[in-house]
Amino acid sequence: MSSEPLPTRTSRLVSPVDLHERPPVREMSPAEVVEAVKRARAAQPTWEKTPFEERARALKAAAKEMLRRRHEAVDLLLEEAGKYPHDALMTEAVGPLEFLSLWIKVARRHLRPRRLPIPKLAFPGKRAVTELVPRGVVGIIAPWNYPVATYFKPVFPALLSGNAIVVKPSEYAPRSGAWFQQVMAKHLPPHVYELVQGGREVGRALIKAGVDSLTFTGSVPSGKQVIKLCAEQMIPASVELGGKDPAIVLPDCNLERTVAGVLHWGVQNAGQDCGAIERVYVLDSIADRFIALLADAAKRLKVGRPGQPNKDIDVGPLNNPRQLEIVEAQVADALAKGAVVLAGGKKTGQGLWFEPTILDRCNHSMKVVSEETFGPVIPLMRVKDVEEAVRMANDSRYGLCASVWSEDLTRAEEIARRLEAGTVFVNNHALSGAMPFAPWTGVKDSGYGVADSEFALANYVRPRTILVDRNKTPDIFWFPKDDTLTDIGERLADAQLGKLTRVLKVPLLMKKRVKAILEFVRGRKG
C-alpha cells in the first residue's frame, strides 16, 4: 500500500486567524478505510465482553488525561478553529470528564436488561428479557465547528455501549480529531477506536465499508446524501443537520438579560453552532429599546486585529474560507433587499474574521433569514403580536431549537409548545446541548437524529429478546386445531369484554387441549 501523500486542498488547511498555511494531513484511500473497519470489527467482541463498569473506568481515565493535557487541546483549537483560549477552554477543553460522567449514569440505567411483563393467562409458563446489545462497529462523521467537544456526544455512548468505532474528523479540523483519538486509544484495547482522515469521499467509503450504524453531524445537503447511502447499506443513521433557530422576544422580558442572552447565543463561536440564534422576532412595543441595546453591545464585542492580545478577543474568526463566503453573500443579499446594518456587517482583520453583525428590518425573502448562516449575524424582525411571531418562527424548513424570552413563565411555556422545534427554551437557548440526559434533536430539515439521553442509544444498540418457556406441556394453540380451541378463544374474547365468568372453564378446556395435542403427536388421534 502506497505511503505517498495524496493531494490535499490548501484552501482547507489555512489558519482562520491569519491565513497562514497549515501542514497538510494525508487523506486515506477507500482501501485503507475498509481495513480500519476490519480492525475495529475484530477488536469489538472483546470490548463488548468487558463489563460495563470496566468500560466506564477506561473512558474516565482517558477523560482525565484529556483534562491534564487540556492546553494541548486549546492550542489545537486555536490553530484549526481560531478559538481563543478563554473560549476554547470553557466550551471544549474543560468538558470531557463531566460530560462522560453524566453519560455513564444515563447508560448504566438504560442499558440494563428489562424483564418483560408477560400475562400469565395468555402465555402461561413463559418468561422473557430484552437486552440491549451493541450494534458492532459505529461510524462517526464529525463536523468542524467544535473540533474537540463534537466527539463527546457520539464517542462516549458508542463506546460505553460496547461498540468499536471508526471516526472521520472534518477535513477542516483533522488534528483535533487525531488528538482526541490518540488520547482515548491509550486507555482502550487496540483498534477499538479507529481514525480515518479525509473529505467527502472518505466519508462515503466509511459508510460503504461495512459499519453497522452511522452518526453524522453536518449540513442538510450532505446529510440527505448520507441518509440515502445508509439506506442502500441497510444501516441505521442518526443525522443532526442544520438549524435556523428563532427567538421570540416579548415586551415583558427582562430586557438587559434578554439582550445578553440573544447576543451570546447568536454570536458565540462566531455563530458557528447549529443551535445558534439566527432569527429574532421582537414585538413592536419593545423593539426600539431592545434593538438599540443589542446593536450597542454587539459593537463593543472585540474581534481579532493584528497584534491584539488573546485575552482581549470576544469573537473568533470563521473556520474556513467557504464559510466566510457564505456569510458575506447572505449579508449582501439582505442589504440588497432592504435590511439595515446596525452593527458590523463586514470582514475584518487578516484572517477569516467577520464583525458581529446586527441587521434590522429583515424579512423572509432574505437568505439570512431563510438559510442557515453559521456566522456571527443576527437578523431582526419586528412583529405586531405573539400570533405573528409564532407564525413566522414556524415558517422555516429548519426546526432544531427555539426560544421565548418573557418574565411570564406560564405564558412563555404555552408559546414554547407551539413552536416547531426539537428543543424549546424559555429565557435561554441551546443550553441542553451540554446535558447528556437531555435529547438533542430536531424536526424538518434539521434532521431526525437524536444526540444524548436514552433516546440516542438506539443508534448504538439494538434490542434482543430472550424468551424462555418453562412448560413441559405443549401450548394450547399448537396443532391439531379443533372445537375446543375455538371454545377457549371465544371465552377469552368475552372475558376481555367484561364477561369474566366465561374464563372459569378455560383451565379445564386447556387441559383437554394439551391431552389432544399429545395424543395427536403419539399418533392416536387426528
Over residues 197-204, mean pLDDT: 96
CB contact set of 107 (below 8 Å; sequence gap of 6+): 52, 56, 157, 160, 161, 457
Q: What pLDDT band is residue 312 in, cutting at 50, 70 and 90? A: confident
Report the C-alpha gap between 279 and 290 in whole angstroms: 14
Asked if 284 and 394 sit in the same domain, the reply is yes
Asked if 104 and 203 sit in the same domain, the reply is yes
CB contact set of 390 (below 8 Å; sequence gap of 6+): 248, 415, 418, 419
pLDDT at residue 349, as a whole number: 87
Total domain count, the chain: 3
Asked if 488 and 422 sit in the same domain, the reply is no
DSSP state of 92: I
What is the chain's length?
Answer: 526
**133 to 161, 210, 460, 461, 465: CA distances (angstroms):** 8, 18, 8, 5, 10
Entry pTM: 0.93
Report the C-alpha gap between 207 and 313 in whole angstroms: 40
Asked if 411 and 490 sit in the same domain, the reply is no
Asked if 128 and 269 sit in the same domain, the reply is no
Asked if 292 and 310 sit in the same domain, the reply is yes
pLDDT at residue 12, as a whole number: 56
21-54 per-position pLDDT tens digit: 998 899 999 999 999 999 999 999 999 999 999 9
98-119 per-position pLDDT tens digit: 999 999 999 999 999 999 999 9
Over residues 124-138, mean pLDDT: 97
Over residues 61-83, mean pLDDT: 96
Percent of the chain with pLDDT over 90: 93
**Three-class SS string for 161-187?**
CCCEEEEECCCCCHHHHHHHHHHHHCC
DSSP state of 502: G
pLDDT at residue 307, as a whole number: 59
| CATH assignment of the domain containing 359 | 3.40.309.10
Q: What pLDDT band is residue 10 in, cutting at 50, 70 and 90? A: very low
Q: Is residue 401 part of a domain?
A: yes
Q: What pLDDT band is residue 8 in, cutting at 50, 70 and 90? A: very low
397-453 per-position pLDDT tens digit: 999 999 999 999 999 999 999 999 999 999 999 999 999 999 999 999 999 999 999
367-380 per-position pLDDT tens digit: 999 999 999 999 99
pLDDT at residue 309, as a whole number: 60
Asked if 481 and 349 sit in the same domain, the reply is no
pLDDT at residue 196, as a whole number: 98
Q: What pLDDT band is residue 524 in, cutting at 50, 70 and 90? A: confident
Q: Is residue 526 part of a domain?
A: no
- Per-residue pLDDT for 202 more than 70? yes
Asked if 427 and 283 sit in the same domain, the reply is yes
Cα dihedral 346/400/364/390 (nearest 10): -130
Q: Is residue 404 part of a domain?
A: yes
Name the amino acid, one letter, at 226.
V
Q: Which of 194, 240, 371, 420 is catalytic?
A: 240
Asked if 67 and 211 sit in the same domain, the reply is yes
Asked if 227 and 257 sit in the same domain, the reply is no
Q: What pLDDT band is residue 121 in, cutting at 50, 70 and 90? A: confident
Q: Is residue 21 part of a domain?
A: no
How large is the greatest C-alpha to C-alpha distance in the chain, in angstroms? Answer: 99
Give me the residue label for grid cell 434590522.
360
Asked if 193 and 236 sit in the same domain, the reply is yes
What range defines the domain where residue 268 resides? Answer: 245-436
pLDDT at residue 4, as a whole number: 38
pLDDT at residue 9, as a whole number: 40
230: annotated active-site residue: no
Q: What pLDDT band is residue 304 in, cutting at 50, 70 and 90? A: confident
pLDDT at residue 1, as a whole number: 33
254-291 per-position pLDDT tens digit: 999 999 999 999 999 999 999 999 999 999 999 999 99
- Per-residue pLDDT for 11 more than 60? no
Over residues 119-133, mean pLDDT: 93
Percent of the chain with pLDDT over 70: 96
240: annotated active-site residue: yes
Q: Which of 27, 80, 92, 274 is catalytic?
A: 274
In our burial notation (b when 16+ CB lie closer than 10 A, e otherwise), range 269-288 reads bbbbbbbbbbbbbbbeebbe
Q: Is residue 32 part of a domain?
A: no
